[in-house]
Each structure stands twice: as structure tokens, then as C-alpha cells.
Amino acid sequence: MKCEKKTGLIVGILAVLLSPNVVVAADIHAFLWDPSTGIQDLGYEGYGIAYDINNVGVAVGAAFAFGLLEVYDPVDPVACLWDPATGRRDLGSITGYEGPSYARGINSSGKVVGFSEDFSATFTRGFIWNSTAGMQSLEPFSGWDYSIAYAINDSGIVAGESWKGDALQQRRACIWDPASGVIDLDPTGIYDYSYARDINNAGKVIGGFDGGGFVWDFTNGMQSLEALGGEYGKAVPLAINNIGQIVGRTSVGPYWSPYHAYLWDPVEGILDLGTLGEDQWSVATGINDLGQVVGHSYSSADSVRAFIWDEENGMQELNLSLGGNRTLPQAINDSGQIVGYSEVPEPATMTLLVIGGLAMLRRRRS
């Protein structure tokens, strides 16, 4: 029965590929770009994403194999790290959550955080991993159900969120402190929902809520970030460096207007980083302690370009493509190494296109 389904699927794919309006599919591969050696493809057998990299050059993310003829037997993504000395290492998943897993952050000592899902990809549990103890669960608030971890600083404090049930309103930003356990960043429930996305070595946390973005620390608590676009502006923070500079995306007008990459500085305030060329949209996803910013710029989903920005040179395009039309950097370390993910033309799809092209050519000749 499975063979019949796959045969029917292949026939269907061939029919679609031979359509004049077809859009060619592509694999997604993780990459690491080094200023000295250039780009390195970290993906394998179909899919990979790199989310973060530390100053030693160890990257973390997720990868899985997804062959065109295995649509009915997909392999779940697995949290992994790429070490320049030892290569790739799969980190596995948490007991009871043996579905997809994702490594989202890494600190200077090699501790990794992320989250693991059950087989239905419905229930999640944050984790912390190191090479000695392996993967350990990060428990949500008492009486709550799920957790997700996004980032970890050099003190081992983890930023993420806790969930209760499946209601969006029961999503709360939190940190896990090795000394104090899980801490609610909005204990009075000021916001309908919130999440913590990154943390620096000073313990400053950035994240989002239903009305925009925030920065939090133990002294001042949760404070809203200003945005471009006046009264209707909304700034979403995505990364913070150890100087306290924050990057992300901000609306540049009312809700329906485009958004731009921004840099927020504790002294200078918010700066619009603009876009590449005539692009309408841009997003800043990573910043290092030198103030170098990476992200992507685009006008349509069919062409997404990588950029790097610094105070001296402004925004410049980076050629990080692995052969496709969309490249999305995620993080940059203090050596200027960049990780992210990029399209790679899918070999199986290209083979089918060749077969289709030959069939069409033969039909024309006859």
C-alpha cells in the first residue's frame, strides 16, 4: 500500500513539475561562514539549520534527512552541534519527548540549550545539554505544562518561556537560574503573553510580548523597548550583545507598513539600519560584541539576501548563498564567523525536472 502511495505521489510530482507555473523546490542547509576561509555547508541529506555559534567556533542547530521518495517516512529534526575539531554531534532528545529536537543557543563553555517535542510535535520541553551530563530537562513553572529554551549566557542562566495548556495567553517569559531555578519575568501578568529570546553575560534579557519588545534585568524588571513608527510602532528584539546593544526588526510606520532591521543602543537609542538596495523589508538576527550586525533583506519571499552591518560601512550584502535564492544568517561571533541557513537546489527535484524536460523535448520533436 505504501509503495502504491509513493508511486502515485511521484506521478503527481511529475505532473506538477511539468506545469509551466512550477516553482522548483530546494533543500535547506546549515552554513558557517568564516572571513578567512569562506562558506562551509553544514547541512546533510536534505535539511539543516544553524541558530547560534560561540567564540570558539562551535555552532548549534538542527538537521534531518528528508528524501523526496520518503515523504511518508520523514526523519524528525534532531538537535546537533558542529565542532570544528570533531565535526557534527547529534544531541538526541529528552525522555518522553522523543520527537523533533532543536538546539537554539550555546555559551562559551559549550553548554547548549533548546527544546524537544513529542512525536505529535504538540508538547515541548526545554533542555540544557553539556558533554558530561548530557541532556537535562528544564521544567516549566509549577503547575504549567511546557517549556522552551532559546539562549544561555556564560553564567549558565537560560532564557526562554513557559506554557500552560494551549492558550496563547498562558505563554510567559522566564529564565532558569542555576541557583534559583525558574523565574517568571512578568509575575503579575501585565502582558497577555511574553517570551524571552536572548540573554547576555550581564543577565539582561530581551524578548517580546503582545505589544512589542522588552529588556529585563534583576534590578529594573521588564521595560518596554521603543520602536520606530510612532504610536503604532512595534519593535521585536532578536539578539543582545554583552554591551547591551539590541537588534531585531521594527515597523517604520503603522501596523501594515514594512519593517526594518534596527539597532538599539543604551545611549543612542534606536537606529533604523535600512535595507539592501530597493528592498522593502529587513530583519537583524545577530550582533557580536564588536557591534557587527547580521540579518537578511528582501522585497519578496523568492529572493532573500544576507547582510552585514557595522557603524563604519553601513549595510553591505554578503554572498552566503549555497546555490539557492534565499539565505538567512542567524548569529555572528566576535571572530566574525556567521551561521544560518540557505537554500540548496534539491538533487531529486532537479532530476525530475530533467526527465520532464526530456519528455517535453521528445513530444515537440514528434
pLDDT in tens, 307-326: 999 999 999 999 988 888 88
Say what the pTM is.
0.84
Q: At residue 288, does pLDDT exceed 50?
A: yes
- DSSP result, 178-190: TTTEEEESSTT--
Q: Are 81 and 58 in contact (CB under 8 A)?
A: yes
Burial 154-188 (b: 16+ CB within 10 A, else e): eebbbbbbbbeeeeeebbbbbbbeeeeebbebbee
pLDDT at 183: 97
Residue 72 CB coordination number (10 Å): 9
Between 177 and 299, the more confident residue is: 177
Other CB atoms within 10 Å distance of the CB of residue 139: 14
Q: What mean pLDDT comes out for the span 62-66? A: 70
pLDDT of residue 227: 63
Is residue 26's pLDDT more than 70? Answer: no
Using a CB cutoff of 8 Å and minimum separation of 24, what contacts does 44-50 make?
Answer: 44/88, 46/346, 47/77, 48/341, 49/77, 49/102, 49/330, 49/340, 49/341, 50/82, 50/330, 50/331, 50/339, 50/340, 50/341
Looking only at the bridges linking them, the beta strands covering 26-34 and 38-41 are antiparallel
Average pLDDT over residues 114-131: 87
CA 249 – CA 363 distance, rounded (Å): 51
> For position 15, what pLDDT does the model report?
38
Query: CB count, 10 Å around CB of 299?
Result: 16
Is the distance from CB of 18 to CB of 356 less than 8 angstroms?
yes
Question: What is the spatial distance between Cα 142 and Cα 163, in angstroms, rounded to a whole number?
Answer: 11
So what's the pLDDT on residue 17?
31
Domain residue spans of the chain: 1-25+347-366, 227-320
* Selection from 197, 143, 152, 149 nearest residue 170 by Cα: 143
Residues 24-46: what's their mean pLDDT? Answer: 81
Q: Distance between CA atoms of 124 and 116, rounded to whole angstroms?
A: 6
Of residues 71, 95, 51, the one with CA closest to residue 8:
71
- Asked if residue 202 lies in contact with residue 244, where contact means CB atoms within 8 angstroms, the answer is yes
Beta strand segments in 108-257, E: 112-117, 124-130, 134-138, 146-152, 158-163, 171-177, 181-184, 194-199, 205-209, 212-217, 221-224, 235-240, 246-251
Question: Computed from CA positions of residues 38, 41, 199, 271, in that sequence, does the dihedral angle turn out positive or negative?
Answer: positive
- 212-253, pLDDT tens digit by residue? 899 999 999 998 887 655 555 678 999 999 999 999 998 887
Distance separating alpha carbons of residues 242 and 154, to the nearest angstrom: 11
What is the chain's mean pLDDT, rounded? 82
Q: Which residue has better confidence, 242 or 117? A: 242
Q: What is the pLDDT averaged over residues 54-63? A: 96
The strand order across the sheet containing 134-138 reads: 101-106, 112-117, 124-130, 134-138
Residue 72 has pLDDT above 90, yes or no: no
Structure confidence at residue 255 as a pLDDT band (50, 70, 90): low
Mean pLDDT across 78-90 = 93
- Residue 252: per-residue pLDDT: 82
